Structure 1
């Protein structure tokens, strides 16, 4: 890739003797902004997150795109694709709820969803998908030659569950992110993706705070129209 676009794609900064891609830094900053938007229950969190996903997809295929790390983390790259898919679902869902709230007289800047616990059925989904997904993707990533397949598989599966949980308004999605971060930080440090590892640590702080914010907001009175809409939107 040549020209200005090529320069932007390959631009690097050297930190403590390590070459770091600017798109890894920028992609993670978009991800952090999306997490803050999710904590505040704002619709813009979804499109902002999608921009970060697209950037990070190219970063984690280090061998394919000849990045300084030169390691292919198929789980990390693949989850960016699924992030986009689930984020489109979340974006549409939250936008529908926002419109329903506005029709009921709520301010435009009001939080979109009322946080709630997933309940027994939700937890059954989380556990089953978490276990089956981790085992299945670990086997797949190992065959593909992914670096750290088991950790990569849990990060992939847990991230999907957390993003879906956020779209549904489940408080538990913050707890899933904590479990993802606990595995993700050591993996990324060992693989040489230092900005992503550091941002994972920052995410951990945001996630803990976000859990407290959503837990406290669980008793909010829902807008009646949005509550009715909640029953038909899946």
Structure 2
């Protein structure tokens, strides 16, 4: 138990700032999950869940008596949400993987072993994402404030809703889910810095750049898939 307690409270000190190794390792798992998502690998989901569980203990600082006794309820709640939605995404990608494996003969070389087919959301789906992001933030802000979450509470609510919708979009294979992550990162970095979660803030900066790369990677995959579909549907010509 003493060893477990020591590992739980292990810290890294940089320039007088104390960072929990749980926060660093948890964000490392999150980065690995994002990389797996960009490559469309099913292992991205369980890896992400491990990181979510570690970060849950970090953002409930007052509950777990960490050196930074701050509760970010939106950040903590989104870790629970991540686990739930990740299970959904895991199941969805497993089903897609099985279907793609059956149709492997008709896929390009880069599509073998992947678990999702990136595609653009419809305008109706995009409208849903925007309305849900703004509306959910407005609804959750007074609830998080009542629960004494860290100010500005609207930013915590925005991050929670954006993370929920981005994870759902990833499960669906919508290219736009990467852009939702960008919107989350823009708000998340200053909030985390102000709350003293420097490791997570640094990772959010890195995530911001990474999500833009992921967006263009999935966009390119979608364009290539559409080109292959057009070529396959074109009538054959005889000499």
TM-score exceeds 0.5: yes
Q: Which whole-Å deviations, capped at 9, do the CAs of 1:1-37 have from their partners, x for residues lacking one?
A: x422111111111111011110000000000000011
Equivalent pairs, count? 223
- 1:28 matched residue in structure 2: 27
Q: Which residue, out of 192, 196, 207, partners 2:196?
A: 192
- 1:48 matched residue in structure 2: 47
Gaps of 5+ in 1: 225-234
On the 8 A contact 2:104/2:112 being kept in 1, the answer is no
Is 1:169 aligned to residue 173 of structure 2? yes
Is 1:13 aligned to residue 49 of structure 2? no
Q: Which whole-Å deviations, capped at 9, do the CAs of 1:126-173 have from their partners, x for residues lacking one?
A: 022111210111111100000021100000000000000000011110
1:109 is displaced (CA, Å) by 4.6
- 1:94 matched residue in structure 2: 93
Is 1:138 aligned to residue 141 of structure 2? yes
Counterparts in 2 of 1:146-165, with a 5 A limit?
146-148=149-151, 149-165=153-169
On the 8 A contact 2:22/2:55 being kept in 1, the answer is yes
- 1:120 matched residue in structure 2: 123
List structure 1 runs of 4+ shifted beyond 6 angstroms: none
- 1:85 matched residue in structure 2: 84
On the 8 A contact 1:114/1:220 being kept in 2, the answer is no
Q: Quick one: higher RCO (CA 8 Å, sep 6+), 1 or 2?
A: 1
- 1:231 matched residue in structure 2: none
> Given the two structures, how large is their TM-score scaled by the length of structure 1?
0.91
> Given the two structures, how large is their TM-score scaled by the length of structure 2?
0.89
- 1:219 matched residue in structure 2: 223
Q: Which whole-Å deviations, capped at 9, do the CAs of 1:209-228 have from their partners, x for residues lacking one?
A: 0011011111343899xxxx
- 2:212 matched residue in structure 1: 208
On the 8 A contact 2:101/2:112 being kept in 1, the answer is no
CA distance in 2, matches of 1:68, 1:109: 46
On the 8 A contact 1:43/1:94 being kept in 2, the answer is yes
Task: Note the aligned Cα RMSD (angstroms).
Answer: 1.7
Q: Secondary structure at the match of 2:225?
A: coil
- 1:227 matched residue in structure 2: none
Gaps of 5+ in 2: 230-239
CA distance in 1, matches of 2:30, 2:101: 27
